[in-house]
Amino acid sequence: MEITEININVRGEDKLKAFVNITFDDVFVVRGLKVIQGKSGLFVCMPSRKMVDGAYKDIAHPISNDFRQRMEKLILNEYQRCMEEEATA
């Protein structure tokens, strides 16, 4: 499975840095991922839904840790590219 498009929508908030839509094989899109600023740096949150008890549960997520890491690296690289592009504009 190939990641064929990453769409970054930069936000100006303290913790929420961007919303992300990601397309696989030009045929399947997952919307609502988030780039978050944590205590030890940026990370990617999967789309989630708030449950009745107030907890959040992912509604889409990678099965393997290897694919999660690959996907997060590509998303964060694209986010950094967008930020650099914004800084030079």
Contacts (Cβ under 8 Å, ≥6 apart) of 57? 48, 49, 51
**Is the model's pLDDT at 13 over the cut of 80?**
yes
Mean pLDDT, rounded, of the chain: 94
CA nearest to 30, candidates 11, 44, 14: 44
Q: Where are the domains of the chain?
A: 3-49+56-88
What single-letter DSSP state applies at residue 54? Answer: S
pLDDT higher than 90, residue 52: yes
51 — phi, psi (to 5°)?
A: -90, 170
3-49+56-88, superfamily in CATH? Stage V sporulation protein G (3.30.1120.40)
